[in-house]
Structure 1
């Protein structure tokens, strides 16, 4: 037993057009609302619990509290998840391949593998060349018929608040169903809206971290979501989740990468991502980046041998300062100061020229000054009193 809301905008636009025309045929007015335990929202999200009607919407009572969902946000109400699927399936009139793929991906998100297989097969019957449908069918087939050599995801037993033991289904990434759904519904949109544009980490960027366009309403949503999940988990530190490379990039620890979450909701978004990363690491997902690099103070560290060539510590002769030889009036440099063989000295001329100095200062050279001194006159006709000689 199920209901489909009269005021509905479904999680896939292509699905909405088909469902909207079929509402009168699928609504069961005689259904008791106490039989409803599942609510599907426009965006595909699913709420489980005891459903009851309240002012302006539905109240969903669960073990840890209750949720109130407005009528206009509800697509389907049903007793079970399979009944919700049947409601959406039966409401489709002359569905296209796109409609079948949309419903198949919703089934895959909610672990309805047989139903997902059926819808994908119908899509391929209509359009056998659809690559996204073939890829989706391949993935569903791998989940339904895993190879004997492949290690099956481990299962765990979880005790709920009311004491009931339930088996936690795990995805191919090792995450529980709840953690995987939280990624699809919360973490993935958060990352795409914050850093998934073309310039940063979108499909058109040149970065290694590229988020696929996984938005409800387009083909290949489930496949793109799985690729994004694998990409994000590759940057989760399973040993120390709080120091995951993904968090270090987002919080601006890298000077080349500014903080991603800013503004009024920045802290809230960061804590949401941090909580999910911790949860994923606790379930065994992520990579082992090893311990933080450190060097014990008591362990001597041997430096690499220097390359062959000049010694690291110059010899005494090489450190001797340059000397001035007054006999030759030339500046002498020590041997090997610039790579010359031992014993060979390179001499540089004295840059000071007294004739040039006298010409600039007095207008005549020292030789001209000697000639004028014998005459007792200067170039201006006066007796020369100042003479610069070497």
Structure 2
């Protein structure tokens, strides 16, 4: 049986929202800058996304997974971008995208759940913290109004914590009728607890606007842009993507995954319009995949991967990498791309420069420790 409070949540998000996993979560702050975190759940293969085509050991390790450089966009004399990322390549050419290669969190085992928890909480070990680094970032920013409330079944771990946030999940089913919304509103208007929650839910629903939100990549990008582009809207967003666990048939599966990501990023950019100039988008995964192809045309769980930064605020047009090499002696534990860059340092640097914060103070606040790696600098335009 659905409780009154649960019914409120489901009705506000749209009929059938209880069956749909949350895709987007938002937080408001008094700033003109926007920060979007896109998580790639499943461990995305950084060597497939940004291929080190000039690395001598690359082709022999990857075999059938070697990216066709003739179809890919060469980023420099060492790296090429996967052909499916056509719009992302355009952003790179315009100086609005950069890639940090051979990057990883402090996590060194290969469990998806544990790796994602470390990535989202900012700890050094799984389940060290209950709140997330993105929620801590919200707490560092001046709020412009009362905190919003979550209206989706769950909020991603990265956004959980003391600062209240709003989440919104588009539904694939028909939305509730205006009559139903009116009747529910009347039902709760005198309820001291549920009345304000309902009003907050309706405000968020209205903020989404007539976007025709769908669960396809273009629809998700358009929906996120619809919230972020508003003067009175949120300034921080998180978007979840899945399907990056490619143990088999990787070529076709990752081509489709990357095309979907590319479509979503293009939709986000187009929807933001002039606001794109003040936007930083971070795309990251919990860990990478094995350097060598396995026997089923895929890769297994690895360590180092690639992080992407995109947006009009990004100082792009480059690949940042202390490249470790792919010879057997160069690999982490003889199998994975060795991490030479800290993802925590990338996150701290990008977040601090986006919002004009001190980098070291931001790193300490987001990751609750004194980091051994200083935050990256020069990722975002001043």
Q: Judge same fold: TM > 0.5, yes or no.
A: no
Larger Rg, first or second structure (1 or 2) = 1
Question: TM-score, normalised on structure 1?
Answer: 0.24
Per chain length, whose mean CA-contact separation is higher, i.e. which structure has more relative contact order (CA < 8 Å, sep 6+)?
Answer: 2
